[in-house]
Structures are given as structure tokens and as C-alpha cells.
Amino acid sequence: MPSRMLTVEGRRDVHEKVSVWKRAGLRVGFVPTMGALHEGHLELVRQALRENDRVVASIFVNPLQFGPNEDFTRYPRTLDVDSRMLDSVGCHAVYLPQVEEMYPSGADTHVVQEVAPKYLCGEFRPGHFTGVLTVVAKLIAQVAPHVLYLGRKDFQQVVAITRMVRHLDLDLELEVRACATVREPDGLALSSRNRYLTPEERTVAPTIKRALDAVVAKFAAGEHRVDVLEAHGRLVLDAASAFRIQYLQVVDSETCTPRVLGNAIALRTDTVAVAAYLGSTRLIDNVPLTGS
Ligand code: PAF
């Protein structure tokens, strides 16, 4: 079947197209991605299609959010397959900016946030959230949608972006929707990086979700001491003898601030988040303490 989806490469073109839709009274949803799409991205597009008249997705592997020793060059680039996937679910347009379009030489402004980026991944990936927030702020300005769709798997990213757009911060005129994490039947959260896993690693990877579930179950059973909950989750991961844990922490769901002091008590509104290497692949996941 011939493609119905529009492909746009220039920022002015995407802005113009969306402006035409908005002038016609249409509501526009936007799904930013780095490509290597999977069912989790498609669910974001489907939700955006249910809630809007037009949906734009972007694909841009953002160099600014990768550290010097991270996987920018080997990050999977699967543009043809991605375009077919977006088209197959009915996405109206895909925006494919080039690096020179996004960061022309002389570009001199970055979005630096103070609180959420300090913790969790921010401790291990300096500059990562400045890269994410800068590109997302630019994409929002370029596309100018009504609603932005993000996956909850990237919990800290959702927190940082939600705080960036709110009235206290940059006052960006749009709503942010955080959509449920999509998982494999064995619990592994879908991620573009799962394709790096060897078959052996893939069999162990669902332990991450089991560790999170174990923390949630212990909390539900009445254990609210943060250090005990975190130790319990780490024990589950350690038992697999395969993970190099970066963090497994109970944090405030609005700010990502860890509950670390003395006899800290976990709250029902908190989130338990984890990042761990399995071989050379870094996996992240999270669940609210009330479970999901
Ligand atoms: O989640 C991602 O894929 C990226 O961090 C995003 C939001 C597209 C910004 O580059």
C-alpha cells in the first residue's frame, strides 16, 4: 500500500505543516524518538492518534545526550523500518531533522535543569539531561504541538521534561502525557537497546522487573524503611550474578530526589528506579511503589 505519511526534513517545513493543521482547528500530538522503534513507541503513537486529529513523530539520534564513551555511533539506525512502522499505525508525519539543522554551528544555548538531573542516571551520565532537555525544547519550538507523548520507562526523562515545560520553568504551551511502559511477556521493558543483548543476557534481563516487583511487594507487605526495600531489590539482582548495578533507589516521583537520609521512610507516591549493566548493555526500569 502506498505511504500516506508525510516525511519532513526541515524545521520550517514541519512548523508550517503543523501551523496549517492548527489553523484548521486540528489538535496535534507529537512523539519524539531516536528511532530504532519498537512496540513501546508505536503505543505512544496510537495513544496520540486516539487523543488528537494529527500526529507527528520525530526521529533524531541526538548527539548532545550521549557522553564521550557512550553508544552514539553504534546506536541502531533503522530509518526505513521505522518509517514503515509509523506509517502502518497511521502516523500523519515523520520529522527527520539533520544534525546541522538541529545544532547549526554557533548554537550557544542549552537547557540546564537543577534538581531532577542531579540524581539517578544524572550521576552516571553527566550532561545527558541537558542534552535531552535542549533537544526536546527545540523540537517543541519547531513542531509546536498541543500534546507531547513520552514513555514512562524513561521515568527521569519524563520528570525532567514535565518540570521544564511547566509554568514555574519555561512556560511552554503544551501538555505532557506519560504513557505506560510496554513490556515483553516476561516483564522486560521494551527498549531500543534490548537488541544489544546476547541470547543469554536476554534470558536474565527480566530479573530487573522481578527486582522492582520484589520491592513493591515488600512495601505492600508493610516494610517502609527505604534502606531495607533497596537492599531487598539489590539482592534479587545480585542473585542473578550477571548485573553491574548503578543504582536501585526509592525516589520522590515528582523530583527524582532519593529518600536516603537515616531512617528514611518510603511513601506511596514514590518510585523505585534501577539502572544496571548486563554485559555492555545498560538497562533502566522503574515502577511506582504502588505497583504497575
Ligand atoms: O527518549 C528518547 O528517545 C530521547 O531521549 C528523546 C526524548 C527523543 C530526546 O532525544
**Which of ligand 1's atoms lies nearest the C-alpha of 154?**
1
**Which of ligand 1's atoms lies nearest the C-alpha of 136?**
9
pLDDT tens per residue across span 102-127:
999 999 999 999 999 999 999 999 99
Is the confidence at residue 2, as pLDDT, over 80?
A: no
Q: In b/e form, how buried is each residue of 154-181, taking b as 16+ CB within 10 angstroms? A: bbbbbbbbbbbbeeeeeebebebbbbeb
Quote the longest CA-to-CA distance of the chain: 62
Q: Is the whole model's pTM more than 0.75, yes or no?
A: yes
**Rounded CA gap, 154 and 177, in Å?**
13
Is the confidence at residue 1, as pLDDT, over 70?
A: no
Say which of 41, 92, 128, 146 is annotated catalytic. 41
Domain spans, the chain: 6-179, 192-288
Q: Does 192-288 match 6-179 at the fold level? A: no
For the domain spanning 6-179, the CATH number is 3.40.50.620
**Rounded CA gap, 189 and 233, in Å?**
17
pLDDT tens per residue across span 255-269:
999 987 768 999 999
Is the confidence at residue 3, as pLDDT, over 80?
A: no
Whose C-alpha lies nearest to ligand 1, atom 9?
A: 132
Q: Is 15 a catalytic residue?
A: no
Q: Which of 65, 130, 282 to mutate to test the pocket of ligand 1 (most atoms within 8 A of CB)?
A: 65
Q: What residue ranges line ligand 1, CB within 6 angstroms? A: 32-34, 62, 65, 132, 135-136, 154, 157
**Rounded CA gap, 228 and 132, in Å?**
33
Cα 106 to averaged position of ligand 1 atoms, centre (Å): 23
pLDDT tens per residue across span 72-113:
999 999 999 999 999 999 999 999 999 999 999 999 999 999
Side chain identity at residue 197, one-letter code? L
Cα 221 to averaged position of ligand 1 atoms, centre (Å): 36
User: How far are the Cα atoms of 82, 116, 221 from residue 44, in angstroms, in the given order?
Assistant: 14, 23, 33
Superfamily of 192-288 according to CATH:
Pantoate-beta-alanine ligase, C-terminal domain (3.30.1300.10)
pLDDT for residue 260 = 79
pLDDT tens per residue across span 211-254:
999 999 999 999 999 999 999 999 999 999 999 999 999 999 99
Whose C-alpha lies nearest to ligand 1, atom 8?
A: 33
pLDDT tens per residue across span 143-188:
999 999 999 999 999 999 999 999 899 999 899 999 999 999 999 9
Q: Average pLDDT of the chain?
A: 96
